[in-house]
Structure 1
Amino acid sequence: MNINKKYAVNRQQKHGIRFASKLMSTIAMGALGAMTFSAAHAQATDSRIFGKAPTDGATITAHSDTGFNRHGTVNSKGRYTLSELRPGTYVVSLEKDGKTLASLSGVPLFVSSASEVDFACDNDQCTASLAR
């Protein structure tokens, strides 16, 4: 009779160990899923500003209302992109040789979206426009 009691205890212990093992596995998979969701969600919060501008050594600068700044250069095709911007309201400026040639304020950026700001220069006068 002692043998049967010992067998029953061992069987309960084995069942408890299997249950604990499955529980730990489920918790680990849930934590991994939560980390993956957080990483994907964080990547989807960036925005960008892009557009056209003169190609002669110009720099594009975006200043947010929260103090965040980003600088970029115009490529040989007259295009630029400022990526990884936080959502908010920006002032986008065209600069050359340390001087601001044109500026556009109130450029809105939302989560996972982009705004197009184009610059055009005629002689010494430059203008900026927000494409809609």
Structure 2
Amino acid sequence: MNIIKKYEVNRHQKHGFRFASKLMSALAVGAFGAMAFSAAHAQDTDSKIVGKAPTDGATITAHSDTGTTRHGTANSKGRYTLSSLRPGTYVVSLEKDGKTLASLPGVPLFVGVASEVDFACDNDQCTASLAR
């Protein structure tokens, strides 16, 4: 009879250990899933402005109605990206040597969607356009 009681205790202990292991695994998977969801969700809270601009050392500046400002320059292919911008309305300007060559007000930014602003310069005249 002692043998049977000893077996029952071990069987209950094993059952409890299995239950605890499964519970801990489920909690760990849930916690990692929640962290992954939070990280993916955090990426969807900003936007960017992309476009074409002259590669002659001009600076592209985006200034929001809430005070956020970002600066960038075009790469060797004439492409630029201003990232980590909050949704809102921006004025995007092309500047060189402290002078504004072209400016485009009212550029809208929405969560997770990039706006494209292209600059073109012929001689001393520069223009900006919003690509749709």
Query: Who is 2:71 aligned against?
Result: 71
Structure 2 Cα separation of the partners of residues 8 and 124 of structure 1: 92
Q: Specify the code of the residue in structure 2 equivalent to 1:82.
A: L
Gaps of 5+ in 2: none
Partner residue in 1 for 2:121:
121
99-108 vs 17-26, which moves further: 99-108
Secondary structure (helix, strand or coil) at the match of 2:56 reads coil
SS in 1 for 2:119: strand
Aligned to 1:20: 20
TM-score by length of 2: 0.84
User: 1:67 & 1:105 partners in 2: Cα distance?
Assistant: 14
Q: 1:42 — aligned with what? A: 42
Aligned residue pairs, count: 132
- Say which SS state the counterpart of residue 108 (structure 2) adopts: strand
> Which residue of structure 2 aligns with residue 11 of structure 1?
11
Using the TM superposition, give the Cα deviation of residue 129 of structure 1 relative to its aligned residue in structure 2, in angstroms: 1.7
Report the equivalent of 2:93. 93
Query: Deviating runs (4+, > 6 A) in structure 1?
Result: none
Deviation at 1:51, TM superposition (A): 1.6
Q: What is the identity, as a one-letter code, of the residue corresponding to 2:58?
A: A
Deviations 1:19-74 (A, max 9, x none): 01110011101111221222222224332212222232100011122322211112
Cα RMSD, aligned residues only: 2.0
1:2 positional shift:
4.0
Residues 1:33 and 2:16 aligned together: no
Match of 1:58 in 2: 58
- More deviation, 8-17/45-54: 45-54
Q: For 1:103 and 1:127, how far apart are their aligned partners in 2?
A: 8
Query: What percentage of residue pairs aligned between the two structures are identical?
Result: 86
